[in-house]
Structure 1
Amino acid sequence: MDEYTHVVNVDGVVARERDDDSGDDTPEFLVIERSAEEDHAAGLLGLPGGKLEPEPGADHALESTVRREIAEEVGVTAGEVAYVCSGTFETDTGHQCLNVVTRCEYEGGEARVRDPEEVAAVHWLTLDELRAREDVPAFTETYVERAAAVRGSE
């Protein structure tokens, strides 16, 4: 039965309208540069998130997890949370993982590195800016694109 055991990870694609005077309402997305100390995708851009660790009987476990992880990692408060997609992968250390991606509306807070052992830097990037970078794994780009599509259809 162990071959079917997966760690559950929840990622949050945090979106907000660009905060400048251009009048451009292009959304930007919060991405983190993973610390060189991380076991998986070290030094690459990713999404804030983490392992599902709810108390027994907890309601809204995915939503609570992603809000907690975003606040802990980058100091931002996430508002509405919506499911985007999920998939499985194997970490660099050989652990099987179920990854659940959510779209989260930015509610407040200044994005900053809160734990340098996990996060090396924080960036707000448009989808075009994200696509132009070389330190973005294909899966991160795909997750942000899917979240942007869900957000744009509402």
Structure 2
Amino acid sequence: MDRKWCIVNVEAAIFNGDKWLVIKRSEKEEHAPGAISFVGGKVEVKKASLNILEETLKREIMEEVGIEVYDDLQYVESKSFFTDKGDPVVDIVFLCRHRSGEPRCVNEDEVAGVFWLTAQEILEDVNTPIWVKQSLRIAEKMRLNQKN
């Protein structure tokens, strides 16, 4: 498959204390319906701008779960995958600190459930995909290092 372009996706590993915000993706979602996931979405470029990844992520967080995070987003990791339709995606995960708001399902076409869980609860959940567990392990180490 020789493609020049890919979808750019951003995800938020949001923590508050020792809990992480995860969502259950709606069954209507095109990619990974019903899976446990971090909040996030595709980068849409409508004009030239700075901090497009961070601004996209903050917008997606508000649109999906209705909360705010602090501006000090930290890079966790990047990876690539293919959607269920075969489209290539570059995915960038950021560590985010919860700032305000009570998370809820803002858009039920995208989010079927919202949960604050410990890292251990997420890692032990059979519905959590391996790629979410991988990102969470890195994010959890970063969160713990911030406390020291």
Question: Same fold by TM-score, threshold 0.5 exceeded?
Answer: yes
Report the equivalent of 1:10. Answer: 10
Structure 2 spans left out of the alignment, 5+ residues? none
Residue 60 of structure 2 corresponds to residue 58 of structure 1: no
Residue 113 of structure 2 corresponds to residue 98 of structure 1: no
Report the equivalent of 1:143. Answer: 135
List per-residue Cα deviations over 1:128-153 (Å, max 9, x = no partner): 11122111001011111111112222
Residue 102 of structure 2 corresponds to residue 110 of structure 1: yes
Structure 1 spans left out of the alignment, 5+ residues? 18-26
Report the RMSD for the aligned CA atoms in angstroms: 1.4
Is the partner of 2:12 in helix, strand or coil?
Answer: strand
Residue 121 of structure 2 corresponds to residue 129 of structure 1: yes
List per-residue Cα deviations over 1:92-150 (Å, max 9, x = no partner): 11110000000011001010001111000000010111122111001011111111112
Superposition pairs for residues 72-91 of structure 1, below 5 Å? 72-79=63-70, 80-91=72-83
**TM-score, scaled to structure 2:** 0.93
Work out the number of aligned pairs and report it. 145
Percent identical across equivalent pairs? 35
Is the partner of 1:116 in helix, strand or coil?
Answer: coil
Q: Which runs of 4+ in 1 moved over 4 A?
A: none
Is the partner of 1:147 in helix, strand or coil?
Answer: helix
